[in-house]
Chains A and B, each alone.
Chain A
């Protein structure tokens, strides 16, 4: 399975953010996109996920090709899912409900043992009855990562997934991502300067001045 962007262009108020950006990732592979803050990485990720239109270009999800310049009303799931930098857990639901509604589309289902094991490994199993505002930023970040890992998506797009994690939790996250990659899931990681993922990455790109270049 392939996730690709072909010649994606995007401008805000005549200011080019992305200039002919192309990238290709396969399942079982980890692609790292690095670049300075405000450089358009998150915009690129949102365009790849069909959540925001570009000015031109094409996005490829497996067999499907999408004109990136057209607003798309189709859910990218289960081809891919996204971990947003701002997390966006639903504040009216508990952590369990935030997970359950994604996994079973019902808010009060019991999580299967395999899911509980992942939550244990991420040190968030004790938070199931808490609401997001009762958790720390790092805990909320791990919940959104768990939400993505527990989903059936073939590609995980992660925007600064360890920005609020300490070193120990970042190591745990990398282990889980390595496990996901080993199980033939594709990873697209976006980070501004974090070197923690270097050993995980199969391909590295640098997004600077709107241009995406393999490094």
Chain B
């Protein structure tokens, strides 16, 4: 414990800057994914039909079948060479994580909307509740609640995904801790600190997901 504390004191500036970069990446991917993924998910569930629907589903499944690390490396090296451009690694990482998270969240939201009992919308039809009122007050709140546990768990995944940014030279926390370890030769201490950082951020999200699931069970919406 004293060892960990001593590492924090000596490298607090480097650790803080690495942690901030990791958090920035995560927040960008969380926000972008939440906004675009929710819109895309609702659109896919409500309006995507026929060939358009199949094409998007196929694209989404294909995109999710390739590891994010491969996208990251591909977008950082070959793509930029092909296009003859040079983009800062942080921006490349932020874009790749946001796109990946958008696809993940759109899938969570789409299945939550589609899994809503058809009867809920049929009751609205049979009682004359207009479609817009139904979507605003019933469908969206129910679907987003049902999607919440899956959303929280996937956002923990996004936070962990930021580790890969070190592969394209982004100075996020993992890269910083590797550098400190190279100086200190204290893998136990350094990587315990890294574990502690991710634990402190991830554990509350995991607990929230579990609590949300229990709440949904009460409403009869558990997934």
Contacts and interface: CB of A to CB of B under 8 A. Distances in A.
Contact of A101 (B119, B122, B125, B129): B129
A33 B141 CA distance: 37
B131 to A, nearest CB: 9
A171 B133 CA distance: 35
Interface string B12-41: 000000000000000000000000000000
A91 interface: yes
A78 interface: yes
Contact of A92 (B127, B128, B133, B142): B142
A81 B137 contact: no
When A and B form their complex, which 9 residue pairs have the shortest distance between CB atoms, in order from nearest?
A77-B128, A91-B219, A82-B126, A102-B127, A88-B119, A88-B123, A92-B141, A105-B133, A75-B125
Contacts of A90: 120, 123, 138, 142
Contacts of B127: 77, 81-82, 102, 147-148, 151
Interface of B: 117, 119-120, 122-123, 125-130, 133, 137-138, 141-142, 145, 218-221
Contact of B130 (A81, A93, A105): A105
**Interface SS of chain B: helix, strand, loop or mixed?**
helix
Contacts of A86: 119
Nearest to A74: B125
Residue in A76, A102, A107 whose Cβ sees the most chain B Cβ within 10 Å? A102
Contacts of A105: 129-130, 133
Contact of B126 (A49, A107, A152): A49
A41 to B, nearest CB: 16
B126 A91 contact: no
A151 B218 CA distance: 28
**Interface SS of chain A: helix, strand, loop or mixed?**
loop
Contacts of B122: 51, 84, 88
Contacts of A148: 127
Given A90-B142, A92-B219, A151 B123 contact: no
Interface residues of A, number: 29
Nearest to A73: B125
A80 to B, nearest CB: 8
20 contacts: A51-B125, A77-B125, A84-B126, A88-B117, A88-B123, A90-B120, A91-B142, A92-B138, A92-B141, A92-B145, A93-B138, A97-B137, A101-B129, A101-B137, A102-B129, A105-B130, A107-B137, A133-B220, A151-B127, A151-B128
A131 B122 CA distance: 20
Interface of A: 49, 51, 75-78, 80-82, 84, 86, 88, 90-93, 97, 101-102, 105-107, 131, 133, 147-148, 151-153
Contacts of A77: 125-128
A86 B118 CA distance: 12
B129 to A, nearest CB: 6
Contacts of B141: 92
Given A84-B123, A86-B119, A105-B129, 20 more contacts: A49-B126, A51-B122, A51-B126, A75-B128, A76-B126, A77-B125, A77-B128, A81-B128, A84-B119, A88-B122, A90-B120, A90-B142, A93-B138, A101-B129, A102-B127, A105-B133, A106-B133, A131-B219, A133-B220, A152-B128
Contacts of B128: 75, 77-78, 81, 102, 151-153
